[in-house]
Amino acid sequence: MVNVVRETNGNSLTIRLSGPIEESVNFDELVGAVPGELRIITKDVPRINSVGVKAWIKFFQGVSARGVKLVFAECSTAIVEQINLISNFTSGGSVESIYVPFACNQCKAELIGLFSCDALKAAGLEIPDVQCSKCPGKAVFDDIPEEYLGFLQR
Ligand SMILES: [Zn+2]
């Protein structure tokens, strides 16, 4: 079951979603009144299935149609996959930052790193290696760049 934590800051509402989005979710009820800007943080959304995607798109298209500015931040890898697969997944909103999967060369640990989309674009969509958090080894990007970062080239 997905949980929503709301945080209002002036004319902006930030919602932090956590849990898998796998059934018909009543986002209208969960999110409540939305002001001029809605920031959506999905760091803790591990999965979303086709039913969840339908509810997601219906809700965000409705909000966007009312003139609300949508900003998606700290997108989990599951959400990034959907952004790449479904062209209107963000309903015209912007994607501020995403989690990127890494795998360690030495201990095979799987890690994630947060990157701002502006920084990725400025770096020519090159994702640098990162220090493994579990051993002295180097962790490298663990997906297909053209696919995982495809939405940034649209
Ligand atoms: Zn390691």
51: CA distance to ligand 1 center in Å?
A: 36
Mean pLDDT of 133-153: 95
What was the pLDDT predicted at 1? 82
**pLDDT > 90? residue 31:** yes
Query: Residue 36: pLDDT band by 50, 70, 90 thresholds?
Result: very high
Structure tokens at 40: 């959506």
> What are the tens digits of pLDDT across the range 42-53?
999 999 999 999
4: CA distance to ligand 1 center in Å?
A: 33
Give the chain's domains with CATH numbers: 1-95 (3.30.750.24), 102-154 (no CATH)
143: CA distance to ligand 1 center in Å?
A: 17
> What are the tens digits of pLDDT across the range 84-115?
999 999 999 999 999 999 999 999 999 999 99
Q: What CA–CA distances, in Å, run from 124 to 69, 121, 127, 131, 145?
A: 27, 5, 9, 21, 11
